[in-house]
Amino acid sequence: MAIPKIAVIGRPNVGKSTLFNRLAGKPLAIVDDRPGVTRDRREARGRLGDLEMLLVDTAGWDTEAVGQMENEMRDQSESAIQRADICLFVIDAREGVTALDRDFADLVRRSGKPVVLLANKAEGKAGDLGIAESYGLGLGEPIPISASHGEGMADLQVAIIQGLGDFDYSDGEEDENAPLRIAVIGRPNAGKSTLINALIGEKRLITGPEAGITRDAIAVDFLWDGKRVRFHDTAGLRKRGKVNDRLERMSAADTLRAVKFAEVVLLVIDVEYPLEKQDLHLADMVLREGRALALVVAKMDKVMNREAVMHELQIEFERLLPQAKGAPLIPVSALKGKGLDRIMPAVARLHHDWNAKVKTRDLNDWLQDMIARHPPPAVNGRRMKPKYMAQTKSRPPTFVLMCSRAAAMPEAYKRYLIGGLREAFDLPGVPIRLIVKGGKNPYVDKD
């Protein structure tokens, strides 16, 4: 997965390394009250909420310092700006805006890079004057933060997402030579191994009428339409309360691992005993793991009125598992070789949607339309105000909604938004994750 490169920049001793450590989640950069401690660029993976990033800590930019080392430190900072997807420009809110801040702001504006202006050390009201002065830098609205106390991080997250705009998080995410990984799961004796044998055109896996023949998750490779595909045949999963044998428990754990490493999961159900509680449990487990899901309705040669049976199954599945609305139901008879040609095209479509990236501008146009049609409910007399939405990752599609009073948003309204996302951006059959966040006001008095 491609992640944005974020440069933390500013003059010396404004708290850049403290912020770098905060976002990296560990004390990687040395922090000291003396200016000029950081000299080289330091890079580290970091995270803010569910937004992953590559952080770059830089030396303090100082035009007044002279010497070979100081020149190289300035060059390092300027190089970091040019290589970054977005810059976090940090000032000291307590000290206020200095001439050096202004000089550096001119350089950043000329670079044309997106920038978020951060007024650090703004805990309490000590930084009010510096925050007011920072508007004059021409870098947009300042965000008050305290890197040392972790204040303002939610507002920082939404500012970074807005600044990144349509950054392609999925770019470079997938190795073109890597096989498409498909886990085939289901209850015992549902026909999983028989299905894989029929798809690859050879008796690669042992099959038989007895339940429980497959014990390990077996990988089977083949080519489809010139592309590498890797099936993982798995042991049938019974209800947990019925699993007493140690070997069966180990097989179940192996199946769960196969799902975690899969991209698409085929859930095989027996048309004679369809959508039993265990089938629904397995489908829910796949969606919770964030995997794309297709249902293969096996042994269709055993039913008479095929169309009526499939129509009833579709209605029941969407009623019992609405979070998988639009997941394909594919009727097959592996023994007769019927319906097999529909499986891989459905898998390819699911895999495409699982990797989907929605443009930020389109998301927010859609959000305004959804709010206009059905505003969020008021809680305790105060209405929630959704502000901004962005997709932070794919595989599966994951969205962050910034909203006032986020914790009070009812699950029903989240379902309304998820359903709207699925319909508007044509994402059937893949799990959609919606994370609702709200920023804290740093000026609210603490108890």
Q: Is 234 annotated as a binding residue?
A: yes
Give me the tens of pLDDT residue by residue for the chain, a chain 447 residues long.
578 999 999 988 899 889 998 998 877 644 444 444 333 457 888 988 878 899 988 876 655 555 555 666 677 778 889 889 999 999 999 999 999 999 999 999 999 999 999 999 998 777 788 899 999 999 999 999 999 999 999 889 888 988 988 787 655 445 567 889 999 988 887 777 888 888 888 676 545 454 444 444 567 888 888 889 988 877 666 555 554 555 445 556 667 777 888 899 999 999 988 888 888 988 888 999 999 999 999 999 888 888 999 999 999 998 998 888 889 999 999 888 899 999 999 999 999 999 999 999 999 999 999 999 999 988 777 888 898 899 988 889 999 998 888 888 899 999 999 999 999 999 988 999 999 987 544 334 343
Q: Is 237 annotated as a binding residue?
A: yes
pLDDT of residue 72: 63
Q: Is 17 annotated as a binding residue?
A: yes
Q: Is 197 annotated as a binding residue?
A: no
Q: Is 287 annotated as a binding residue?
A: no
Q: Is 333 annotated as a binding residue?
A: no
Q: Is 412 annotated as a binding residue?
A: no
Q: Is 79 annotated as a binding residue?
A: no
Q: Is 15 annotated as a binding residue?
A: yes
pLDDT of residue 212: 45
pLDDT of residue 169: 67
pLDDT of residue 65: 53
pLDDT of residue 304: 87
Q: Do 360-437 and 180-354 fall under one CATH topology?
A: no
Q: Is 439 annotated as a binding residue?
A: no
pLDDT of residue 265: 94
pLDDT of residue 35: 42
Query: Domain spanning 180-354: which superfamily?
Result: P-loop containing nucleotide triphosphate hydrolases (3.40.50.300)
Q: Say what angle helices 277-288 and 246-261 make with each other, to 10 degrees.
A: 50
pLDDT of residue 204: 63
CATH code, 5-164: 3.40.50.300
Q: Is 65 annotated as a binding residue?
A: no
pLDDT of residue 367: 96
Q: Is 392 annotated as a binding residue?
A: no
Q: Is 14 annotated as a binding residue?
A: yes
pLDDT of residue 58: 82
Q: Is 72 annotated as a binding residue?
A: no
Q: Any idea where the domains of the chain sit in the sequence?
A: 5-164, 180-354, 360-437
Q: Is 410 annotated as a binding residue?
A: no
Contacts of 166 (CB under 8 A, 6+ apart): 359, 360, 361
Torsion of CA 319, 320, 322, 324, to 10 degrees: -120
Q: Is 120 annotated as a binding residue?
A: yes
Q: Is 257 annotated as a binding residue?
A: no
Q: Is 358 annotated as a binding residue?
A: no
Q: Is 11 annotated as a binding residue?
A: yes
pLDDT of residue 49: 80
Answer yes or no: CATH 3.30.300.20 is held by domain 360-437.
Answer: yes
